[in-house]
Amino acid sequence: MPTAPSIRSHHRELDPPEALKSAIKCFWYDRRDAGVLNQSFEILPDGYAEIIFHVGDRCGLPGIADIQQLPSPFLMGLLNQPVLLDVRGRLDIIGIRCYPWAVFDLLGLPAGTAGMHIVEHPVATLHAALKQCVEADRIDEALHHVERYFSRTQCPVDAMLARAGAAMREANGTLAVSAVAAAAHATVRTLERKFKQSSGHTVKEVSGLMRFEQVRNALFHRPQASIAGLAHALGYVDQSHLSREFKRYSGTTPAAFARRQPRGDFGGFVQA
């Protein structure tokens, strides 16, 4: 299914305060306009979880008979396949991009593996203030609202998980589990147990998404990039291995994905 065009000039990001950097990558805002007709746009997996607030006419999941309108906020956890959202009119999105090993502790929720979570949480009280800011085009103020909210939360990220996550991200998901454990000063067994408890996923699963994310971003920004070169740089066995993994997460081959850039769009929840 073709994806909807988006307007990138409105994208903004705000770094979290130092105390939250082990849990939150950034706060961000984006706007897209689907026009008067319903449009579907695709969100591809990556190595982050997102807390998503949205203001607009419609943002929902396509259904057989009707659209399931999504609440604001909802939690988009790690995905293992693309998700389609149905949008109509202007959609303003404010997101909190979180590390998957920290997001559930940040919200005080039990870890889950489902990609999309609709949860009741006090963070929902932010929606009214964010909607008011967006409608008045005070986007920086809206981002600072979410920054202040999370600055008041008590979310000490486990030091071992923080070290493991930092090593994984620095290596773009290419480290073996044993190397991640060494960087975290932990045994493989302890790391795997705590990682699964905190994120609902294994180290290998999250590393695979991080590595896919790098390929996805590279092909989005540089559609002519060598797939064989990316396979070598990111530690895949060969180009065929990269292609199989890419299709597993995206539903398409890297070559086909590259051909639809830059006209296409791989979703709103994208790192700048």
Percent of the chain at pLDDT exceeding 90: 69
User: Is residue 16 over pLDDT 50?
Assistant: yes
DSSP string, 30-67: EEEE--SS-EEEEE---S-EEEEEEEEEEEEEE-SSSE
Q: Whose structure tokens read 């030091």?
A: 159
User: Is residue 227 over pLDDT 80?
Assistant: yes
User: Is residue 110 over pLDDT 50?
Assistant: yes
Exposure b/e, 157-188, CB count within 10 A at least 16 = b: bbebbbbbbebbbebbbbbebeebbbbbebeb
Question: Stretch 17-26: mean pLDDT, rounded?
Answer: 94
Q: Tokens representing 68?
A: 């399931």
User: Is residue 226 over pLDDT 80?
Assistant: yes
Question: Stretch 208-212: mean pLDDT, rounded?
Answer: 96
Peptide bond into 73 cis (omega under 30): yes
Q: CA-CA distance, 74 to 20, in Å (whole number)?
A: 20
**Higher-confidence position of 66 and 264:** 66
pLDDT 10s digits, 139-188: 999 999 999 999 988 777 899 999 999 999 999 999 999 999 999 999 99
Which pLDDT band holds residue 120 (cuts at 50, 70, 90)? confident
pLDDT score, position 63: 65
**Which domains, ranges and CATH numbers included, belong to the chain?**
7-151 (2.60.120), 159-259 (1.10.10.60)
Cα end-to-end span (Å), the chain: 24
Do 75 and 28 form a contact (C-beta atoms < 8 A)? no
* Percent helix, strand and coil across the chain, each to the nearest 5: 40, 20, 35
Strand locations in the chain (E): 7-14, 24-33, 39-43, 49-62, 67-69, 74-76, 83-98, 116-117
pLDDT score, position 228: 96
C-alpha distances in Å from residue 235, one per residue of 121, 173, 176, 207:
40, 9, 10, 12
Mean pLDDT computed over every residue of the chain: 88
C-alpha distances in Å from residue 15, one per residue of 35, 146, 162, 249:
31, 11, 17, 28
pLDDT score, position 263: 46
